[in-house]
Structure 1
Amino acid sequence: MTGLAGPAARVGTDLAALLAHVADAFALGDIASFSVLTTGYEDCNVDVTTAAARVVVKVFAPGRAAGIAARTAGLITAAHAVGVRHPRLHRDAHGALVLSYHQHQVLVMDFVPGQTIYDRGRAPSRSELAGIVEQAAAIHTIDAHLEFVFDPWAITNLAPLAGQLRDVLNTEQSRLVGQALEEAASVDRAVLPVVLIHADLTKGNVLIGADGAVSVLDFAVANRFPRVQELAVMAANLTHGSPEPLPTRVETIAELYSAAAEVPLSTVERVALRAFARAAAAMELLGALAEWHHHGNRGPETEYLIGLGLAGLRDYGLS
């Protein structure tokens, strides 16, 4: 398609025709309306209203790994089995969860009324945060060993990404990222418990329903990593906007997680979590700067993430 911007530009075929095909394959009836959800950097999610239902159609970009949709659907199914709330996936007329169309992999799921934390424009409340942490703890019980999926925003990519953006960083950013790198390098990752983590529990992937219930969205980059890596991303991104500095938010999440998880965080994990959260803030800054300078994504979400990452790194200088 031509003339499109944002997530819709990631669809390499006519979007209306794709959605019509999806509606037919999943017996959803004629499409009444649709709108592209504007957050995110990889795939295209579309809010679709048809004669029979309101759904979200997730269209994976053409360059995504083969089998990514099936992998994601399998993880969502496994998450449901341990009590994680994620919108229900639909099956097509043949019972399949995944549809292929013109080099795109597609999933269809229920539309859940509510707002993401990002759309709410604030940090989650204490009770909301506790509910999100409970969902994370449940995810960490999933016994799944899947093929690794590369995530450019993962903390493990901090050092190479910092090197790629060396000429982009200003003096303050370079100093703060360097401090995060130094602290992260001091952590012995080999002693940290590894589990399946969602890996992207950020403001855009946590939905607060009309009834106040917490739902988790999008398992596309779930991988096996130290569980504190999950909590670090939550602290740096999800709780941004709280009046408390990042190190204090880290301690709050550590307490909530230890109360919810089958095995509380160890002393070693708590120390590592502080370093990981600093690294997570650095990754938010660097990932957004890469989108801004290298990929031309200069919208409000990217600008927001640059500020989010910088604020978290500055918090460590105050602690």
Structure 2
Amino acid sequence: MVNNRFYERIDKIEDINILSTLVCKEYKLGKLIDTLVLEFGYEDFNAIITTDTGKYFMKVFRNSRTDKDVEDCIGRTWHAYQNGVKVPKIYLNSENKIVTIFKYLNSRFRVTLMQYINGKNFFELNRKPTDNELEQIVSIASSLSKIDYHPNFIYDTWAITSFCNEFEKKKKYLSNEYFNLINPIYERFKRFDYDKLPKAFVHGDMMSTNLLIDDKGEIWLIDFSVSNYMARINELIVICDDIALIVNDKKESEKRITKIFKQWCNEVNATDFERESFKILFDVANAINVLNTQYEIKELKNDSDETIMHLEAGLFGLTLFN
């Protein structure tokens, strides 16, 4: 049975297959066989639709997003796709639009349909990328930063740019131990000249749940829900505090992170300030993982495997490079 917290993101519907049937009709997908809700992620409602013509990925945008937010969000994926980034194809509806609004009784759903990738993300695989896979992922990050695209800003509670604001709101959820761990990072970051960092188009969430590896070994990037025009090094930091980490293996983690940091610096021709900023930004990213998972656990009662994974990664990440 699907956890209710996923259905709470969208309008009420007694059976998700009702919506899937409407999607099948609009996009001419054939006869619906099944809908599989994907129980990971913190943003939208995602599912795989299986029909007699194949499988498709359905994204239903959460209600907290405005219609403009939705268009902006999926427009980012469309832009990356148009620029040759390894992202799933977006299907156009009968009006040649990338978002379709479906109405059922008193409910309203904003849906995008995308290519289904026959593979699994690294969270589902329960493993970290190999060194070679990490190299591919960093190259994807570098290629994104070279796209001349300045989308409207989307606020992300997990982003480095949101740390000070989120810390003020959520510090009450921290134990004394965690507060004493994170507060010094907060004080340091308040004095950091973030605006001095070079900016670029950034996915912002290149972690285990958003990187798929298909049956041919190729890596795909999905879900541009929190992508922005921001400090380009943020992309690397997210990679370093998630998929590059081997929790409880300090030596290997530092080795992997050092290697991809050098690769990224070479590929984007990093500035001296970017190189010098790595440590504070890496600490902030790990601190955010601890802060937000405490909020998820204590306020939202969400102690899922994904939440615990981010908590453990954040705590471990804060022990590195010291």
Structures share a fold, TM > 0.5? yes
Structure 1 segments unaligned to the other structure (5+ residues): none
CA distance in 1, matches of 2:257, 2:164: 22
Residue of structure 2 equivalent to 1:52 = 53
Paired residue for 2:273, among 248, 268, 274? 268
One-letter code aligned to 2:214: G
Question: Which residue of structure 2 lines up, in the alignment, with residue 36 of structure 1?
Answer: 37
112-121 vs 3-12, which moves further: 3-12
Task: Quote how far apart the aligned CAs of 1:112 are.
Answer: 0.5
Matches within 5 A, 1:80-229: 80-102=81-103, 103-229=108-234
Corresponding residue SS for 1:237: coil
Letter in 1 for 2:244: T
Shift of 1:244: 4.1
Partner of 2:26: 25
Runs of 4+ in 1 over 3 A off after TM superposition: 242-250
Residues 53-73 of structure 1, C-alpha deviations (whole Å, 9 max, x = no match): 201100001121222332233
State the distance in 2 between where 1:104 and 1:273 align: 41
CA contact (8 A) 2:6 2:39 kept: yes
The one of 299, 303, 306 aligned to 1:294:
299
Number of aligned residues = 313
- Identical counterparts, % of pairs: 26
Unaligned residue ranges in structure 2 (runs of 5+)? none
Counterparts in 2 of 1:229 and 1:4: CA distance versus 1, 3 Å: closer
Tell me which amino acid in the other structure corresponds to 2:217.
Answer: G
Deviation of residue 284 (structure 1)? Answer: 1.1
- Quick check: 2:250–2:320 contact (8 Å CA) kept in 1? no
Question: Partner of 2:308 in structure 1?
Answer: 303
Letter of the structure 1 residue corresponding to residue 57 of structure 2: V
Question: Aligned AA for 1:95?
Answer: N
Q: Residues 17 and 34 of structure 2 are in contact (CA less than 8 Å); yes or no, is this contact kept in structure 1? A: no
Residues 1:86 and 1:255: Cα distance change in structure 2 (over 3 Å): same
The amino acid that maps onto 2:262 is E
For residues 60 and 248 of structure 1, what CA distance do their matches in structure 2 show?
A: 38
Q: Which moved more, 1:75-84 or 1:32-41?
A: 75-84
Query: Cα 1:4–1:181, aligned 2, differ >3 Å: closer, same or farther?
Result: closer
Query: CA offset at residue 258 of structure 1?
Result: 2.6
**Distance across 2 between alignment mates of 1:266 and 1:212:** 33
Q: 1:93 to 1:224 in 2, by over 3 A?
A: same
Q: Which residue of 2 aligns with 1:258?
A: 265
Which residue of the partner structure matches residue 320 of structure 2? 315
Taking the TM superposition and a 5 Å limit, the aligned residue runs for 1:211-250 are 211-241=216-246, 243-244=249-250, 248-250=255-257
Deviation at 1:4, TM superposition (A): 5.5
- For the Cα contact (< 8 Å) 1:201–1:233, is it kept in 2? yes
| Residues 245 and 257, structure 2, Cα contact 8 Å, conserved in 1 | no
